[in-house]
Amino acid sequence: MNAQQIRCFLESTENLFSTMLNTSVEFGKPVMQPRDAKHHDVSGIIGLSGDIVGSVVVGLPTETAIAAVEAFVGCRIEPDDENFADAVGELANMIAGGAKAKMEGDDISISCPSVVIGSDYTVQRPRQASCVCIPCRSPLGEFDLNICINSPAQASKAA
């Protein structure tokens, strides 16, 4: 993982917040994260494959997730409503999709989103992948962007 790849995810997140959530987002310093790190109460998970392999987890405390979904859809949706997970998944999908589009030259596929409600889980990631957690702050609340990727194509080009 390199700084440019992280920047793609940050720019994509900024774009999502300014267009569909009508608010802003600020980023803290990325910190390295163990591959089996625990997550927030609500997580939108997207898998990446192709030239870049790994996953992106948008982890939100419940209150932030409720506020983000309300800003996105235009009405309050509780976590036990099936549309809540659908909306969180779509937010994660747009962050990953936007980042993928910015990584020009890489052939990347993204999975359909999975959403986990509950924090007692880990995402098993590729052994060689680097994992960073980027703390995010917005008027809707705080959340994390967990990026865990490996670039086998870049590694083979460099070798």
Name the minimum Å distance from CB 38 to another protein: 27
Name the minimum Å distance from CB 53 to another protein: 18
Neighbours of 89 (CB within 10 A): 18
Please, which residue, 59 or 113, has the CB nearer to another protein? 113
Integer Cα distance of 10 and 58 in angstroms: 12
Please, which residue, 53 or 94, has the CB nearer to another protein? 94
Cα distances (Å, whole numbers) of residue 41 to 66, 88, 114 = 11, 12, 14
Q: Report helix angle 82-102 to 3-19, nearest 10.
A: 130
Please, which residue, 44 or 59, has the CB nearer to another protein? 44
Name the minimum Å distance from CB 72 to another protein: 7
Of 117, 119, 99, nearest in space to 109 by CA: 99
Please, which residue, 96 or 149, has the CB nearer to another protein? 96
Q: Please give the residue ranges that form the binding site for another protein (CB under 8 A).
A: 15-16, 19-20, 69, 72-74, 82-83, 86-87, 89-90, 93-94, 96-98, 100-101, 104, 110, 112
Asked whether the beta carbons of 45 and 57 are under 8 A apart, the reply is: yes
Name the minimum Å distance from CB 150 to another protein: 21
